[in-house]
Structure 1
Amino acid sequence: MPSTAELRYVLFPGRHHLLTRFQAEHLRRIAGNATIVWAVTSANHENTRRNPVPYHRREAAIERLSATTGLRSLVVPVFDTAPTDAFAEVTLKTIAVATGLDLTPADTLLACSTPQVAKLYERLGFAVDEVEAAYEPPPERPWDVLLRLAAGDETWRELAHPATIDVFERYGLVESVRAVVNDPLIGDEGGLTTTRDYRTYVEAFAEAAERKWAAVRRYVEPGRIVDIGCGAGSLLELADREPGLHESDLIGVEAARHLYQECLHKKDQGVFRNANVYFYRRNVLLGAIFKERSVDTTLTFALTHEIWSYGDGRADVLKFARRIHDHTVPGGVWINSDVCGPDDRERMVLLSLTGDDGDNPAEPRRDLADKEPAEVNAYVGSLSTRARLDQFAADFAFPFAHQSVSKNTVRLSLGNAMDYLTRKDYVDNWLSETREQFCGLSFADWTALLTEGGFDLDPASTPIRNDWLIANRIAPVATLTDLDGNPLDWPTTHLLAVARRPRTVRVSLEESQFSREP
């Protein structure tokens, strides 16, 4: 360990979302005249459960703490990396590039309470101060204090340093941290699931964007145009090229961190010509994003079935619809394009599937959730269409019963049959796709829900059957009949809903009569 005379730096790595009073006192006690080097890890992550506070706010709190305590500090952002035993070396190199400092065991003390991290530096010869872990009983660590905040426990203020309290209050971080940490939809790393391959999603969004835009462009009202669940921003790229929308504000809202970062990258690269293009990372179920009556057009593509699947079914979809209604100007429009179930989805049918196009194990596997994505994809891809149904039923987050009536024919509901048939080829994201239900709502259900949410349904709204999907993916390997063996037409697979907020307030008969009473 460096002597007091030799000690020039205290390296303090961590995410540093919240600073505690204990940390400030402890650092003053061990640092003397040394400079504290705050290596802020996961600096490129924000609005995730593991990293709820953006780097620049963390840096602001550290600088404020330093100014009020007299500690001399350097703050260095360290981007997130895949787990590696070279983490300490990566951090030291990042500090060297950012500041020119070559921290060595001869002049630097490591302050770290996480044993796994401390061992990586000890291996390089650094002496370690264990911070909270050196005390018995140990004081609460910053993350414990932050969880108090998230739980609504106001005693967090007694433990947090005033610098953190000040920054959190000035920038509205108390409520945003609570929202992110308690988010029921978004996982620790900022995605809907941990198994989704976002690269394939970006490619799929880009390929389908022109077709989607052509289908809805005529219904778009200029002004403030919001794409919720904007993915990688492909649809807004096309809106950006429309001469009639060049004075509109184009706003993308995306919950998944990976896709949001791709949107920011595109904007930084100058993809958008309109200066008024903005992106926000938000989960719309957690509260209103836009002021009431402030949005002219809201676009949602392949989003509402995720709200249904990862949220509380119809209740959360209705809540979402009402939020959109509230932020829509009178006469404004919500254009929703998504998957859709058949109107008679509870009807029992017979589904016959090809069984000679792959393997047919005796039982579906029950352990795929514990396997690496590549292994899952390879296994599911090796199954026959008939065997894949059994695996789908085993993995599907919305359990259903199906009964074999012959070797390759099963009895099940029409909705469950279509949920499988529209998903059976998504082997690259199998464990993500089986978390989502496509056929939870029929077009009739949507009509009722949108009306309940306060919208008028434009005549352009319609159920849609994707005939390409039927002809190329479903019909070659499946046939559908009623229970007597009579062939059935393939049902609806998608919908287009053009929902308008009425220009005038609806008044019920009872309210009208009441208003005329003296």
Structure 2
Amino acid sequence: MSVTRRYVLFPGRHHLLTQFQADYLQRLADDGAATIVWAVTSANHENTKRNPIPYHRREAAIERFSVETGLRSVVVPIFDTAPTDRFAQVTLKTVTVATGIDLTPENTLVACSTPAVAGLYAELGFTIAPVEDAPGVSAERPWDVLLKVAAGDDSWRKLAHPATVDVFDRYGLPAVVRSVVNDPVVGDEGGLTATRDYRTYVEAFADAATRKWTAVRQYVQPGRIVDIGCGAGAVLELADRDDTLHESDLIGVEVARHLYQECVHKKAQGVFRNANVYFYQRNVLGGAVLPDRSVDTTLTFALTHEIWSYGQQRASLLEFARRIHEHTVPGGVWINSDVCGPGDRNRLIDLRLTSEDGSNPASPRTDLAELSSAEVTAYVSGLSTRARLDQFAVDFAFPVEFTARPDGTVRIPFGPAMDFLTRKDYVDNWLSETHEQFCGLDFGDWVELLAEVGFELDAASHPIRNDWVIDNRIAPVASIADLDGNPLDWPTTHAIIVARRPHNT
């Protein structure tokens, strides 16, 4: 297929280049008469299931591909945008800003195998070359070849162009693809959940960072200090200001793309004084992040319940603890601060909730997932505490069984009751929070799990109760009693765990 146009615009994520693409583009370019403009979309995304390869590696493979094929190429990163029917215009303008090239229907052919995207350019008057989508073509699409990489199927090497094979091998990218694409916990866009409002999450964590750091600072050992699930880096900022840690390496590990990018931005803006501050976008469950026996202190705040909730509960948490044990130096410490269930979480109790602080629909809704975030927040916040329990039972990712009794109380196990009471006010992130279980483990369960891994529990470890939450959020609208009607004290809600790897291991 020969064209006389000066440019061939080739939009796509371009994680992997195929031999078919090389042959096809050479025909389109008419033996070098046209320049291939590679519009690399989602260039600001990496380490996600949809975008496992970072842009700079994709660009390297494209440039090597161009040298080996003799194609004249220009590579332009296209940052991700919210879904829009003007994506073609955004791409064209980005190309112009980055290169000065004005792509028009008169001077450009668009090579695109995705019908929906190709349609956006066709509406602007561009002629489309359908690549793998052409009639009669049975070539493997790049994403299908990438899935072979993820599956450990070495036939990908025959389908991919040698430029991709070379870059993948030199930088160990097959292992990255397998880890990210096959990750059972992380979502397509590099987070645990698609429904979380990261703005409110970051604000809440920043507000609590000083309290969390103050509670654990005395147990921190200098050296290599790693904060897993570091959020936007608020705790590491406090560690950075601690003069006694100025010679330590401060390392943040965060799986959520939004939060990781905020960490990188802070570092670029000079927020950290310590030159040895590093950030990784990784999921520890997907493989080792740091070498064995290389970390002096590991910090985890409000993280382990997420691993429990989005993974395979105890099995995932046990694997996580083993990873930490492996990378901890003998004598090193893991400091974990998180929510914790009551010690007798399976015990039945009678829970009394007010029904006078909001509306009381005849039945809970089953369609909240179809609403916008603002609509969900408005609806749930308007419910009474009692009605909110009914809604929680529908939306909670873990089974909740309770019995409404004639005296107005609810007979319910202690654990699910506290899961509801500690979560009922999180209306801004309702569908995200109801996917998480706070009371899956009690303190005794933690003692058992850590011993199984090989950690020794420091005497400083202890369950605690957040009295502010009890006094201000729970007690005003709820009360608990045993099955004989005797009032019960509110249980522990959190735990601070200081686990040490023995020196002789």
Distance (whole Å) between structure 2 residues aligned to residue 135 and residue 47 of structure 1: 34
Residue 6 of structure 2 corresponds to which residue in structure 1? 8
Aligned residue runs from structure 1 range 258-273, under 5 A: 258-273=258-273
TM-score normalized with structure 2 length: 0.98
CA contact (8 A) 2:349 2:412 kept: yes
Specify the code of the residue in structure 2 equivalent to 1:268: A
Residue 510 of structure 1 corresponds to which residue in structure 2? none
Residue 37 of structure 2 corresponds to which residue in structure 1? 37
Residue 198 of structure 2 corresponds to which residue in structure 1? 198
Residue 500 of structure 2 corresponds to which residue in structure 1? 500
Distance (whole Å) between structure 2 residues aligned to residue 237 and residue 37 of structure 1: 41
What is the count of residue pairs matched by the alignment?
Answer: 503
Deviations for 1:196-217, whole angstroms, at most 9, x for unmatched residues? 0000011011100000010000
Quote the offset at 1:61 in angstroms.
0.5
Quote the offset at 1:178 in angstroms.
1.1
Deviations for 1:329-369, whole angstroms, at most 9, x for unmatched residues? 11111000000001100000000000011111111111112
CA contact (8 A) 1:53 1:177 kept: yes
Residue 480 of structure 1 corresponds to which residue in structure 2? 480
Aligned residue runs from structure 1 range 249-328, under 5 A: 249-328=249-328
Runs of 4+ in 1 over 3 A off after TM superposition: none
Quote the offset at 1:406 in angstroms.
2.9
Aligned residue runs from structure 1 range 112-511, under 5 A: 112-406=112-406, 408-505=408-505
Distance (whole Å) between structure 2 residues aligned to residue 320 and residue 397 of structure 1: 21
Quote the offset at 1:4 in angstroms.
4.0
Quote the offset at 1:408 in angstroms.
3.4
Distance (whole Å) between structure 1 residues aligned to residue 494 and residue 410 of structure 2: 24
Deviations for 1:94-152, whole angstroms, at most 9, x for unmatched residues? 01110011111111111111111111111111111111111414311111111121122
Distance (whole Å) between structure 2 residues aligned to residue 27 and residue 321 of structure 1: 49
Partner SS for 1:406: coil
Cα RMSD (Å): 1.1
Distance (whole Å) between structure 1 residues aligned to residue 84 and residue 17 of structure 2: 26
Deviations for 1:8-60, whole angstroms, at most 9, x for unmatched residues? 11010111011010000000011111000000011000011111100000000
5+ unaligned residues in a row in structure 2: which ranges?
none
Q: Give the % identical residues.
A: 74
Deviations for 1:269-298, whole angstroms, at most 9, x for unmatched residues? 100000000000111011111111100000
Specify the code of the residue in structure 2 equivalent to 1:76: V
Residue 24 of structure 1 corresponds to which residue in structure 2? 22
CA contact (8 A) 1:352 1:478 kept: yes
Distance (whole Å) between structure 1 residues aligned to residue 132 and residue 212 of structure 2: 54
TM-score normalized with structure 1 length: 0.96
CA contact (8 A) 1:386 1:408 kept: no
Partner SS for 2:213: helix
Moved more, 16-25 or 284-293: 284-293
Moved more, 226-235 or 130-139: 130-139
Distance (whole Å) between structure 1 residues aligned to residue 407 and residue 392 of structure 2: 17
Moved more, 120-129 or 207-216: 120-129
Distance (whole Å) between structure 2 residues aligned to residue 325 and residue 110 of structure 1: 52
Distance (whole Å) between structure 2 residues aligned to residue 489 and residue 442 of structure 1: 16
Specify the code of the residue in structure 1 equivalent to 2:27: R
Residue 511 of structure 1 corresponds to which residue in structure 2? none
Distance (whole Å) between structure 2 residues aligned to residue 84 and residue 10 of structure 1: 23
Specify the code of the residue in structure 1 equivalent to 2:116: Q
CA contact (8 A) 2:3 2:28 kept: no
Distance (whole Å) between structure 1 residues aligned to residue 101 and residue 489 of structure 2: 71
